[in-house]
A = this chain, B = another copy of it.
Amino acid sequence: MGNQRPGTGAASRAASARPATIDDVARLSGVSRATASRVVNESPRVSPEARIAVQSAVAQLGYEPNRAARTLMTRRSDSIGVVILENSTRLFGDPFFGHLLVGISSGLAASGLQLILLMVQDAGDTGRVERYLAAGHVDGAILVGPHGNDPLPARLARRQLPIVLSGRPLDATRVSYVDVDNRAGAITAIRHLAGQGRRRIATIHGTLDMPSARDRLEGYRDGLREAGLGVDPALEAAGDYSPVIAAQAMRTLLDRTPDLDGVFAASDSMAAAAVGVLLDSGRRVPEDVAVVGFDDSEVARNARPRLTTVRQPIEAMGREMARLILRRVEDPGDVPSEVLFQTELIVRESSVVP
């Protein structure tokens, strides 16, 4: 590059202490701050010459807009809060949340909005997180894993913060959410088990303060009725999506109804735990008891026997949540959207006798 005076030329700024400002860009390209700003923000009202001059100055200086200054002016933070409402025990033992995060992250990436992760582990966190979100530090929030009785969604909505939920809310509040057709998914599972000749089909459901858990339980019952098999409370046991509690539930079921020949669990982790208990009890899977899970996570492919399961497209659901929140941030007056994804039954070894 020709002769440069050290410490003053543009090239020498490579690792400069002070980052370039829009003033630097304006000066170097010979236009005003305003015009430089217009180019950076892709306003159409700029002459081609000015545009080119500014763009090359931007490149030369490695200019990056100062987000704080921009936020102060536009009153937009260019960031989205992602709130994980679940204690750590279940949190990442189950691959569900991780996949959802990956989807959200990739859906947000193209937009230039940042992802601010907020984990609510205990009651103390709730206040902190709510204050932060309500203070206008984010343009919108994605709430992952809210239980039906969680007041946070309504509280934030009342404060006019755009939000999107993972999972249908329990009350009929009008908020955007993304969910899978839990009821239909459960029905396909039961239909499959009944089709394999199973007659005493039990279920390990999730905590019933979560709508997804309720819907899967309802689907289970509907499936039984559809197959002409009666509903029997003794065949239903509560889990909480953790393997430990699921194992307990399985033992309870075996005590109550030793003749059961099928199990539908509301997650793969719980199904895997159930299989463990069944094997421990001397039963063979699938010969004596057929098992179906939910999610189609790594757990299902990893287990032996491999788990038949109801697949939900978790990453796609995360991307959709990102899309929805971006839309609501653009246009807060937009009506809330409810997006339902379809499930797919993946048949593996745990439910089919070879």
A residues whose Cβ falls under 8 Å from a Cβ of B: 15, 19, 64, 66-69, 71-72, 77, 79, 82, 88, 91-93, 95, 97-99, 101-102, 105-106, 109, 114-119, 121, 125, 128, 131-132, 135-137, 158-159, 243, 269, 272-273, 275-276, 279-280, 297-299, 301-304, 315
Contacts and interface: CB of A to CB of B under 8 A. Distances in A.
Nearest to A301: B243
A159 B102 CA distance: 28
A128 B77 CA distance: 18
Most buried by B among A99, A132, A137, A304: A304
Contact of A109 (B102, B128, B136, B159): B128
Counting every copy of the chain, the complex holds 2
A100 to B, nearest CB: 9
Given A91-B102, A275-B304, 6 more contacts: A15-B158, A67-B68, A92-B102, A106-B121, A115-B118, A272-B302
A114 B303 CA distance: 37
A69 B298 CA distance: 45
Given A19-B136, A102-B92, A117 B115 contact: yes
A92 B88 contact: no
Contact of A106 (B98, B119, B303): B119
B67 A137 contact: yes
Most buried by B among A68, A118, A301: A68
B105 A99 contact: no
Contact of A243 (B66, B102, B118, B302): B302
A252 B95 CA distance: 28
Contact of A125 (B109, B125, B132): B109
A92 B297 CA distance: 10
Contact of A92 (B99, B109, B243): B99
18 contacts: A15-B159, A19-B135, A64-B135, A66-B136, A67-B68, A68-B71, A88-B102, A92-B102, A101-B119, A102-B119, A105-B117, A109-B125, A114-B137, A116-B116, A243-B301, A272-B302, A273-B302, A276-B303
